[in-house]
Amino acid sequence: MLQVGIIGGAGYTAGELIRLLMHHPKAEINFIYSTSNVGNKVSHIHQDLVGSTELKFTDTINSEIDVLFLCLGHGNSTAFLENNSFSVKTKIIDLSNDFRLKKDGIFDGKTFVYGLPELQKEKIQTATCIANPGCFATALQLAILPLADKGLLNDDVHINATTGATGAGTSLSKTTHFTWRDNNFSYYKPFIHQHLGEVHQTVNQLQNNFNSEINFMPNRGNFSRGIFATVYTKFDGSLEEAKSIYNNFYKDAAFTFVSDEEVHLKQVVNSNKCLLHLHKHNNKLLITSAIDNLLKGASGQAIHNMNLMFGFEETEGLKLKANFF
């Protein structure tokens, strides 16, 4: 059994990570580190785990664990690793944005591999450190990478995507209070969302001559979890040609599927799937992408990366059914 440590155990992504690891047949949680909840039962914070675990939060670490998950706020993973050391055998999976860009990917002699399995499974399999992708970045990249792989992103890309309230984390702010979020809808960070850096990086990795605009409009939805993205760009081929490109690109993907029918959020919430749908209108290709932001967009993808790093079956611990009804 892999011995697993979790740093920053009180947030939404940590809660989902704990739930997944508790049911993973080849991993065991060694400790859950949280300075704000020392001594408290994990189920006191993550109340869906009442009756499932007696684990408590701790402020001590075991440096000899096999894998370390960092579920800290953006910018805090770097600080934690500067102040704490682990065994050379310990593999690290960071769920923040600290190491996702190549310019930030080398830290203290460690090289962080960008952990999007559909993009570079082989590199993940031999990696010792993983930078887990962002939630929006995951949904958007999976929508357009097949086109970039064929050098077919030759015009501006237009994206409108909506995320649930859990995408904002557990800390309260003006736009996360129930009275503001309920029966409401708004955009934020138009055209400048921080996940665009990851999207540009992977698009250029596959199509280095890409020099068009990626116009991204992120929205806040009045639901709890999930990301629903619609993406369109110029495409001169037929719908059948587009489907062939996408199906071939994802033919070996464990969790990304191209649907012939229109997709919706209930098909993916509580699962590690990404569902894509293609629609052609005149010279434009519309790609719909739907994921669970806490699973495929965060903790589920982190477990997928762990499975690849340790040679497990990709779907180990991730055979989840969506909350369809």
Q: How many residues are present in the chain?
A: 325
Q: Given 71, 129, 135, 274, which residue is catalytic?
A: 135
Provide the pairing of β-strand 157-163 with 227-234.
Answer: antiparallel
Q: Are 6 and 71 in contact (CB under 8 A)?
A: yes
Q: Can you give the three-state secondary structure of 70-124, one letter per residue?
A: ECCCCCHHHHHHHHCCCCCCCEEEECCCCCCCHHHCEECCEEEEECCHHHHHHHH
Give 203-247 as a DSSP string.
HHHH-TT--S-EEEEEEE-SSSS-EEEEEEEE--S-HHHHHHHHH
Nearest alpha-carbon partner for 20 in 315, 325, 324: 315
- 3 state SS of 52: coil
Q: Which two tokens stand for residue 202?
A: 């992977």
Residues 6 or more apart from 72 whose CB is under 8 A from it?
7, 8, 80, 95, 96
- Looking up tokens 């992103």 gives 153
- Looking up tokens 């990301």 gives 227
Nearest alpha-carbon partner for 92 in 103, 81, 100, 83: 81
**What's the CA gap between 204 and 98, in Å, rounded?**
20
**What's the CA gap between 15 and 126, in Å, rounded?**
27
71 counts as catalytic:
no
**What's the CA gap between 7 and 70, in Å, rounded?**
5
| Residue 40 DSSP one-character state | S
**One-letter identity of residue 184:** N
| Residues noted as catalytic | 135
